Structure 1
């Protein structure tokens, strides 16, 4: 079970709801003003971020853009990115994600052949052990060259990318009604605590909050995933 402190801490700072928008699910996350600094991550659908207060730096690969209160930015599906607070008082936001279509989760449209190939290999793994040597051999590259080139093209390390794939797998299972323990183990995490720690670090709320929001989501004719 998630600790009471973890649940209360995340609920105090964020709220998550799932609604029906023209026959598709929409997730909405409201983050109270805080010094948010999320791990680099990506989403399966476009992310629309409304800056409510403060300022933050949006980093995508090697580029960076300052976003201020009153601005709205769109991060395309599959694009690896992160937001960082620029002020001591932090920043507040609303993020919206509308589920993609029937095609379900997918990579960024601009994803290189290297990233797509690595993604395919990592998606077939049932543990979070990132065997860089095996992946490098399949790509006909040295471990060092693969690691450097992958980070240059994606803005993230191989292991962190593997972690994000596992988190997306866990989210899909939680949406479908799996328990947190089941989702954690089936996605390759050591245990529920491991999933919870990585989930909060990446998204700002616990798997329990995420699962509860989706359990109370409106039923659609066919379920699609964000």
Structure 2
């Protein structure tokens, strides 16, 4: 079971937790920075042809739009806690700490002191101390500088252009043939290059993007039907199953928690 809370005082930060969770998350991304910890159990991350294990008491940091999947090891599942930081807040803290950017790959840190700080911070999620949150992120970023600086080349410009187009037109009725024509690329070549660089097809990427948009809209007070329509879903059944598939919770249960 996944639970989530939104804190209006701290830049609308959303806190999420799952206990003995057995759901495997398919490839997806988030529009914000994800900062989480593994409490119990082990999960395996997959990202762009690579993989890593996240053991109990590990902290993980994932950049926005980083395509990844994660799966519990063994049938007992895993327990986790996470929160999502806005790009503006993270960019501010990056500048403050003198860092230009963080690794393009998931950052996994095993640090018992930071883990305990995270748990205390999470326990105060309804009445958190902004200074404590900022201090925790600063310490996490300082650990990031101690890891090898790993950056990957971005996708070709034609794929980056399609991503920008999908981000701008996500709530429109889009056809792959039209997208390919607009960007002067063969439809099948577009599918192949998209999968090569992002691990998913353009249609799957668009669905993930729409789910992220709908999740944010529900957070902001939209009705489930309204969020689905605004995000580009015109079939409520398709929206329900897609939301559950990518988030591990139904739109109705997610809405009740907010």
The superposition leaves residues 116-170 of structure 1 with CA deviations (integer Å, 9 ceiling, x where unpaired) of 31123223153565x2222222333222221111111111111110101211222
Quick check: 1:203 aligned with 2:190?
no
Quick check: 1:140 aligned with 2:184?
yes
**Equivalent in 57, 61, 71 of residue 48 of structure 2:** 61
Question: Does the 8 A contact of 2:159 with 2:193 survive in 1?
Answer: no
- What residue in structure 1 maps to residue 28 of structure 2? 41
Distance, in Å, in 1 between the alignment partners of 2:80 and 2:89 is 28
Within 5 A, what are the aligned runs for 1:175-190?
175-190=219-234
Within 5 A, what are the aligned runs for 1:13-32?
13-20=1-8, 23-32=10-19
- Structure with higher helix content: 2
- What residue in structure 2 maps to residue 124 of structure 1? 169
| Structure 1 residue ranges without an equivalent (≥5) | 1-12, 215-226
Question: Quick one: higher RCO (CA 8 Å, sep 6+), 1 or 2?
Answer: 1
Report which stretch shifted further, 76-85 or 185-194: 185-194
Distance, in Å, in 1 between the alignment partners of 2:199 and 2:251 is 25
Aligned pair count reads 197
Distance, in Å, in 1 between the alignment partners of 2:49 and 2:173 is 26
Quick check: 1:150 aligned with 2:138?
no
Q: CA deviation at 1:102?
A: 8.2
Structure 1 or 2, whichever has the larger Rg, is: 2
Task: Compute the TM-score of the two structures, normalised by the length of structure 2.
Answer: 0.68
Distance, in Å, in 2 between the alignment partners of 1:137 and 1:83 is 34
Q: CA deviation at 1:68?
A: 1.1
- RMSD (Å), alpha carbons: 2.6
Question: Does the 8 A contact of 1:45 with 1:99 survive in 2?
Answer: yes
